Structure 1
């Protein structure tokens, strides 16, 4: 607004116009503000959870690594030769070294669950650890445990506060710890000085750990303290040249990046989906502002005639959008903080994905993030107000003074060209590669497709309504309804933009989640054969025990396998080495092979990599790959297989090849085919009887169908927020439909009065409105579902492969779409009827007397 406009009119009259409009139609303003608030709240909540989880993860890393400057870690749980410790301790730049046995453990000696234990068992030399990692040396009753018998007692164990609470024991009492398939009892002798870090850590003497848990001569880690002034990069590079293949240098920064890479794609994708929800809110603001401008065109025209300049009118409309955006953004920030706190308490820092477990992170709120999401909310509302403001400024005052509030109908072909251009740009963006492991162009493609679909709505509305107008049976009610919609496609487009945005977002996510869930279900059928699954921790079954299991009563066949983490890169989470029978000529018999395969040369050792491993590390079929196993074997990549369980990647190797390579013939997992009529419980009892006592006590059995149900339950938990986004998209879309239909119907009071004067009955007008609402809902449904299907293909074939490194087969949720069709069309028709009753409550003569 110019200074002259401000002096001529003052701020008060323009504020009165704004407040008067909002008092007349509060529902429309509330829905627009809530749409912005929902988008801001979702984006802000996911951002807060991300930041809080990363802060907790970094703190956990610092807790476990204590004060060490550098670490040499094993590439697999098998560890490396302990003689490497002496080499590292004498390396240039190293002033102290502490050998560590690091094992995944749990309290108790009974059968383990199929989830990993949450206890980290560390075997340390206290005299070395006190120099390098003093926070891992225990205290007793708040004092340093300095007595020799306390420090070197093989029966003593020290627990972190979280581990002490999980054990249920007190100082001086005994606990049983199971690791590596072996159980041992210890006396709780001290508490680690870790405060309330939430990490479950247990420390025992290194000799006791090696002897009692089957790790003689092996280490999993060496913590290093560098000399003052020593350059960490130079020391790390020197150490790498001294290491065997099964060990690698790990820094605190690389461990932090490893944890960040574990969940980054999942977190970024949720963040992007939340911002798409904010974009949907912007479209609903556009719808509300367009209707408000259309209704007030005579008022704006009067202000123009009285001397208000066009840019002053533009500023008026933008100011209204700014107020709506600020209100929605502030509300969204408050809702987002509350939602983030609830998510951290219920789903944890991994957003329910199951990537890592531990203490509930504290909520971390950064002022910069608050400012950014507040600005995003403002931007969504202001951008949604730009086009309505330009429309108001373009109107000719003399004509608009007698306008009934309808939008001018321009050439719909122009909107069609704009829409097609944006859709084409979206299709091209989908072809771009990922940026830093994140599918930024994939989400840009979704945004462009959404904008193109909305921009093309005037042309598309007329195109979809034309067949209805020609094929509909003749009748006053239906003919009036279709003629009105066909003749005013721009007004229909305003009502449809919020519908199309919400429906398309919901449809895209619905198709993506349904496709992934269906593909996971089918994959589980391939990867979990047999009737019964069982495993033991640690070492596993030797060949003799495997033979006894296969000969147990009721067992028709057994497939034995072993999985162990394989650290291919210090910056990434470990991949999994899957050891199971795989036939060279027919790998599809035991693995869900996808794509082409290659036959390995006779002297080569074939392996098959999972989709995530192939994409993460750029591994192609036919390549040679060096594995970080003893001897650094060169293997031949013979194919790629589908794996949804290990996002960090997996490598499958035939068990006979693995046994020849490592000499390890122990297998800790098995899938059992039962003879006809044999109950799983009876077979489990027979197998347990065939095992020696310790293994029998630790064996965990589960039916295959139960395991599939558990896996799908984990899947549903992982996508809990995605389901919530779908529900919110539907709710916001239906609220937008109600507000838009109500506003458009009330703006046509004079039109209804004229129809009453020419003899149209009240019930016919209400029926006409019901037909209009239903037709509008049907058009929005068709356009939204079509656009959503296109967006879902970007999610399925671009975003998921680039971010999560897996592919899936498209599956359409027909039940969801049918439910949406009924609810959307019904909501549109009902809203139009209810608003029509209100508009028809005025006397027909009074409705048109201004035009006499």
Structure 2
């Protein structure tokens, strides 16, 4: 205990006083750590809040059910409820209907309408109306007796400004109905579904309003105590063909896995800011360990042990990390609201609608942020602390610079860096763990370390090689700067490593974003082709459960004189727990105007087989998620019919709610007997310079005619494609913010390093002034050093970024989301951005530039021993 107290007192006397004396450089390091910790914490809080909202919504709807009776691709007959309830193994069987409907005047705020049997559902789902009675009756009884009654969750009532006793008009397709709000559900149980934007009605009311007479979406089952397996066997024994018993949490599990993969992606990306901040801690602790060797030798001469010096500098790194973390937590609470907005919007667009609430950091997030920040700081301080242990007591008389080993150290680091880079690609291609590319992320950080290890020898070699030509270009200041960089050792290379990391990340994201956008644009033009798209309103939100009305189909068929009409039938299904979309399309009509971007299989042969009903086409996402590729057999039960066909090709597709499977519409009708349309694409047969006006006129006639009567959604192809690209841009908005943070921290690293170099060499610089160098030459020397360091960081960063982009595109995105892109480098953006980054980093010389000649040479030289 006494030894520990002495160490603390020594740390306060030796280290804290020194940091206080050089507070500006310490504050720069703390600011970098604080910014990294704030970004890391706020991103994780934002994603966890979105994930909590999704899981809470799924749990609210699932309730305590043990199984779900569904009919893949269709609705479940309501007549199944009675025989299921009579099974002795079944405690309760409750039918359920859900649909997104549109409140009048608030089409931008879809409301989740849930229809239940209030009696059968009581053991499964909990809900409570804050107005316990309505007109003298209990709320559940009023729901059953009044076909216009609805209970709104608190969030929905607040958003729609609807109070008990008021009326609310809802629309669904062609159906429009006035409901009376009989109460408000407290924020618990079922009222938490869909972030509280939900309404509860009796199932008979829902069937009448939604046009689902005699059918329900599903029947939730609860087994008797200890009779789950018996229940499953008994239920499967009475289910008709085409109806299945599924686990209750299948949708929740698949959605949770996708959001968690997104969380890991953002967490790793946000950690880069902390990783860059690690270089700042290393730089400052290394400076103190090097510049204070005489003081360390004095401590050794009066009895301090080697381990005491090691612990002293480890404590210094820990102190910087803890101070940065303490400042980062309140800063993170300021950032979290912006992060939540961006992250929840992306999660809603990509996976499922979420409305996160309760964004305060929990103990787990605070603890994780603390451990990561402290761990990064300790790791950064380890090597300088180990270097401090090498100080000998005799150095109190004549300090040793230790620079003689820099050449050997640079060579060893270069060899280690080369070895690390060599293992990056094979390591990144290891299989993911639970759908998360952990090996890929490890490979990314090994790549950063590898290129950072290359920088010391790179600086030494280029500094020596470029010194003569730089003398001709910039004179003696340029020559001296290059020679100093050559001889400066490993410590100067640390800040170059920070810049390498930031520039590499920037380069990789620019390439990835450009590749993604180019591929998506190609996909939109070729696959999402069409002049007009017609489907039921809210079809996307409701998974195309309702087909187009026959009157609308007849109207579209009558338009075939001027339009090529390509109908399709769309279903949302699951394959071994993986969600996907099955679409039966009229290949002959579609391929006259659209095409597919294949990544596996022969396109001509694959399209011919699919069009003739001898195979299916699957998207790259479906292939990566399920493993079903060319030659494998695809099986799916749809509308009571088993589709069993070989996979004949894999195409690129970037729809975000699962993979796609295409099958021939004509053959699908023959197999299932289903002749409905889920929607249709229309192509103008004779496009001309007046095509836009004709397309607009057709859309208006549709909206005013069949569209108004049957609740159709009529979208122009140009608008749909523009919306897809807008969604793409929004998904990368949060990435851009994280990238800016990493670049800012890297800029702090350059500023800190240059300032440290100036302070460390104050005697040398002022000696030059004393022997005749003027102030402009001294400042020019500092600027040339900055140019040299930044040039090295940008050059190596570009190389590192090129490798990183390949890993991101072909490994991490494939393992995380199931898709890859056509690799494409955005040369114009890089050509414009790299000089801007270069100039911004060089501008970091300003603090060092201002401090270089603040003290007169005479007074400074007089102070030296």
Q: 2:331 aligns with which of 331, 335, 357?
A: 335
Q: In 2, are the aligned partners of 1:688 and 1:696 still within 8 Å (CA)?
A: no
The equivalent residue for 1:450 is 448
**Match of residue 628 from structure 1:** 637
Change (3 A) 1:128 1:535: same
CA–CA separation in structure 1 for the residues paired with 2:510 and 2:286: 30
The secondary structure found in structure 2 opposite 1:822 is helix
CA distance in 2, matches of 1:146, 1:341: 37
Aligned equivalent of 1:425? 423
Q: Provide the secondary structure at the position in 1 that maps to 2:688.
A: coil
TM-superposed CA distance for 1:66, in Å, is 4.4
Partner of 1:577: 582
The alpha carbon displacement at 1:781 in A equals 0.7
Query: Within 1, Cα distance between the matches of 2:810 and 2:460?
Result: 32
Give the conservation status (yes or no) of the 8 Å contact 1:557–1:672: yes
Match of 1:787 among 792, 800, 823: 800
CA contact (8 A) 1:481 1:768 kept: yes
Pick aligned residue for 1:302 from 298, 304, 311:
298
Aligned pair in 2 of structure 1 residues 405, 832: CA closer, same or farther (>3 Å)? farther
Cα distance between partner residues in 2 of 1:167 and 1:440: 44
Contact in 2 for aligned 1:73/1:222 (Cα 8 Å): yes
Cα distance in 1 between the residues matched to 2:505 and 2:229: 47
Shift of 1:577: 1.9
Unpaired segments ≥5 residues, structure 2: 540-545
Equivalent-residue separation in structure 1 for 2:160 and 2:210 (angstroms): 19
Cα deviation digits, residues 37-96 of structure 1 (max 9, x gap): 2332233223323333333333323433445444323433x2133343344323341022
Does 2:667 match 1:650? no
Residue from 561, 564, 568 that aligns with 1:561: 568
User: Is 1:101 aligned to 2:101, yes or no?
Assistant: no
1:637 aligns with 2:647: yes
Q: 1:296·1:405 contact (CA, 8 Å) conserved in 2?
A: no
**In structure 1, what is the Cα distance between the partners aligned to 2:177 and 2:4?**
85
How does 1:275-424 map onto structure 2 within 5 Å? Answer: 275-344=271-340, 347-348=343-344, 353-363=349-359, 365-399=361-395, 402-403=398-399, 407-408=403-404, 409-411=406-408, 412-424=410-422
Q: Which among 618, 625, 631 is matched to residue 609 of structure 1?
A: 618
* Alpha-carbon distance change, 436 to 755 in structure 1, aligned in 2, over 3 angstroms: same
1:112-151 equivalences in 2 (<5 Å): 118-130=110-122, 132-133=124-125, 135=127, 140-141=133-134, 144-145=137-138, 151=144
Q: 670, 678, 681: which one pairs with 1:670? A: 681
User: Cα offset for 1:741?
Assistant: 0.7
Contact 1:592–1:641 (CA under 8 A) maintained in structure 2: yes
Of the structure 1 ranges 741-750 and 594-603, higher mean CA displacement relative to structure 2 is found in: 594-603
Q: State the partner residue of 1:216.
A: 213
Contact 2:593/2:683 (<8 A) preserved = no
Verify the 8 A CA contact 1:688 1:699 in the aligned structure 2.
Answer: no
Which residue of structure 1 aligns with residue 529 of structure 2? Answer: 529
Q: Is the 8 A contact 1:508 1:789 kept in 2?
A: yes
State the 1:780 CA deviation.
Answer: 0.9
**CA apart distance, 1:391:** 1.5
**C-alpha distance 494-294 of structure 1, shift in aligned 2 (>3 A):** farther
Tell me if structure 1 keeps the 8 A contact 2:566–2:589: no
Cα distance in structure 1, aligned partners of 2:480 and 2:298: 32
Are 1:71 and 1:250, in contact at CA under 8 Å, matched by a contact in 2? yes
Q: Answer whether contact 1:542 1:667 (CA < 8 A) is retained.
A: no
Partner residue of 1:730? 743
- Among candidates 255, 267, 270, match of residue 271 of structure 1: 267
Counterpart check, 1:28 vs 2:25: yes
**RMSD over aligned Cα atoms:** 3.5
Describe the SS at the equivalent of 1:21.
helix
Change (3 A) 1:736 1:529: same
TM-score by length of 1: 0.89
Give per-residue Cα distances to partners, 1:5-24, cap 9 Å, x unaligned.
976xx754542332332234
Using a 3 Å threshold, how does the CA distance of structure 1 residues 585 and 485 change in structure 2: closer, same or farther?
Answer: same
CA offset at residue 286 of structure 1?
1.0
1:635 is paired with a residue whose SS is strand
State the alpha-carbon separation in 2 of the partners of residues 174 and 3 from structure 1: 75
Work out whether residues 773 and 832 of structure 1, in 8 Å CA contact, stay in contact via their aligned partners in 2.
yes
Comparing 258-267 and 697-706, the one that deviates more = 697-706
Deviation, structure 1 residue 529: 1.7
Q: CA deviation at 1:807?
A: 0.2
Deviation at 1:792, TM superposition (A): 2.1
Alignment of 1:215-234 (within 5 A): 215-227=212-224, 229-234=225-230
- Greater shift in the superposed pair: 409-418 or 755-764: 755-764
TM-superposed CA distance for 1:35, in Å, is: 2.6
SS in 1 for 2:407: coil
Structure 2 CA distance for partners of 1:143 and 1:587, relative to 1, 3 Å: farther
Matched, 1:768 2:781: yes
Match of 2:58 in 1: 61
What number of residue pairs does the alignment pair up? 840
TM-score, with normalisation over the residues of structure 2?
A: 0.88
